[in-house]
Chains A and B, each alone.
Chain A
Amino acid sequence: MLLEFIINIAYLAGSLAFVWGLRLLSSPDTARKGNIVAGSGMVIAILAALFQPIEGASNNYLWIAGALAVGAAIGLVSAKKVQMTAMPQMVSIFNGLGGACAVVLAYAELFPFYEGSKPLDLAGLSIVLSALLIGGVSFTGSLLAYGKLQGLVNDSQVALPRHSAINLALLAVTLGLGIYLAAAGSSGSLALGSLFMALSLIYGFSFVAPIGGADMPVVISLLNSFTGLSAAVTGLIYGSQFMLVGGILVGASGTILTVLMCDAMNRSLLNVLIGGFGGGGSSSAAGQADGLVAKEVSLNDAAIQLFYASSAIIVPGYGLAVAQAQKVCKEVDELLEKNGVEVRYAIHPVAGRMPGHMNVLLAEADVPYPKLLDLEEANAALKDTDIVVIVGANDVVNPAADDDPGSPIYGMPVLKVWDAKNVIVLKRSMSPGYAGIQNPLFFHDKTRMLFGDAKDSLAKLAGEIKSL
């Protein structure tokens, strides 16, 4: 009796800890505490799950202890080793594991059910099948997202022609089989159940396949919410309110981020999933490059321009992460600040490959967060800014989004860097960004290009500024 009471209180406390922890995430000052609170909630709940009395259970504590140790070791070591620039990959793979766990649990329910040793009603069976589907999609989808972010998989290797039609057909078949299995009840078979799982896994892979590059933040957020949902549904299998609450909270977080990311690109979720970029629009945009020559700037000139400016704004993008240039960037920032230049950063919501990607990198480099401007603040500040330095950003500073109705990204809110007096673009080469959208900014009167690896260029720039 008493034990049961303690266990129930423990789950309740765990759920409250999740909510309280997420609440503390609303400010950078309390965020770390929030994470610890949420983590403690998880520990309490795991302990409760270990000691909750289950009638006639053989417990098998040795198996659990072994699995906990293996999992904790893998998790902690990879969390410690991962580089901040690789955070999107890390989040993707962890996310996928949560989905995989839901798949394993749901699949384990099918064995006793089809053997006849554990009956399930329509609701119960539907729950199990939903967990298989959602968990499966989030698992393989996250795995492919990981592969893409890690550079193991190239977008063109996995995207088929007419991929959205294929996806639609695949989804229809998968859902059809799921509905059949739910309706068939115990007259279905384990083989068909396994086929359903396989189809869910294939669909997850296929669903992420055509989406890439700049759309990655949307996909990662969406997969995050799927994993949350799969956890919540799995909670229903085990009748655990705690799992339900945890899963729903994650689902809500993923959904909010997905909506924010879509808004930041002024595109609907459907448009992102079908892959609206590329195709027809890019040919007209590419034409603009004809006959135009981007003007280069020498390191020395760039350094002088920065040195004598009174205000500068740095626009980081995915290129900053790829080149791991965040610390050198901060070095340039410090040199300029020492000379009285006001340096700030303009962060576009979809810069990088996941929500908040740039913020984490700059935090790692010790850039104080009051120096970071969001889209609106930045666009207000850019008008009075002497010089803008663009480090590996492309689509988020594309003026075509503002003034070229023919461009595939027309209508996306962008950083209006051309409002500033001068723009220096740090870029590896003239190759266009994601999906081949040419950027007229590079040919703008105010723009000067500084070609080379971002980290290398920034380091040289720092050297030049020092010698002035």
Chain B
Amino acid sequence: MKGRSKLGRYSVATICCGVALAVAWPIDAPSSCFLLAVTVSSLFGGLGPGLFSIALSSLAFNYFFLRRTFPLATEPATYLRFAVFLAAALLITGLMELKRRVEESRNRAEEALRQASSDLARVSRVTTMGELTASVAHEVKQPIAASITNAKTCLRWLAADKPNLEEARAAARRIVEDQTRAAEIIKRIRELFKKGAPQREWVDVNEVIQEMVVLLRSEAAPYFISVRTELAADLPHVMGDRVQLQQVLMNLMMNSIDAMTDVNGTRELTINSQLGENEQLVVSVSDTGVGLPAQQADKIFDAFFTTKPHGTGMGLRISRSIVESHGGRLWAADNSSRGASFQFTLPTKLEVHE
């Protein structure tokens, strides 16, 4: 409707009325034909052309049918026929206009929803990062504290009457180690915050798991959760976006940690990687937490579904779409004893899609 010019739409209305007149004349059925013309004009032209077609139809109806056919007509029935036609035509135009407005506002709402969910995806990532900032600070503080101690130890060995170079060297080596770790942590944070198009590269998933374990360790420590990894050696690499895969692991691990903060007994987060069928990599994240909500296990992947007081309900939804964009699958697996277990697969070979 938007694409066509105003003139075009009024022309359509005029043509419709012309055709209606041509058809109505021989069969003497002006009401039906002109109503059809008004309907078509309103449907394709909108309110203006609709009203315009009513005006044209009325003129034609009046001139060709009321005056010509019954020049001396006096019965009120004839005029009543005309009035009914006019009311029906106006109603149709009104309804068409209403339909058009409803559709327009629905389109606007859909567009807004699309925008909102893509904003939310980003917000959810940033929020999780916000929650992580405190633990990241702690994670960086740790090697910095160690390196200060090592530097002072180094100075102490050098300050002796007969400096012990071997010990001083050992302390200096420890400083290098400490600072390397601090730099690594900062590098990983920067990668997590990076925004932009997905970058596909060969990724060592075990390495990503270990990075996330380091990052989330201090998130788990306050709740006395032990983090275990069971990583199969020599796994093939996968073609994927490293940052997105980090995000999936972070989401699953954060969910597990959140699920365990209030449980009594063992609090264990286990991340397992292995090679599955069809050379697919299988990663599972299992916890000994409260488990999945009963009867709602199928809903956990829905957008906005959350069991957490401050959850966005987007974590699993986003994680699943990331895994699927990598050609894999993400699902909630049965956990025999207690807690929850999530698994996802990633293809290790580039699939040729037919």
Q: Do A and B bind each other?
A: no
Q: Give the B-binding residues of A (Cβ under 8 A).
A: none
Q: Give the A-binding residues of B (Cβ under 8 A).
A: none
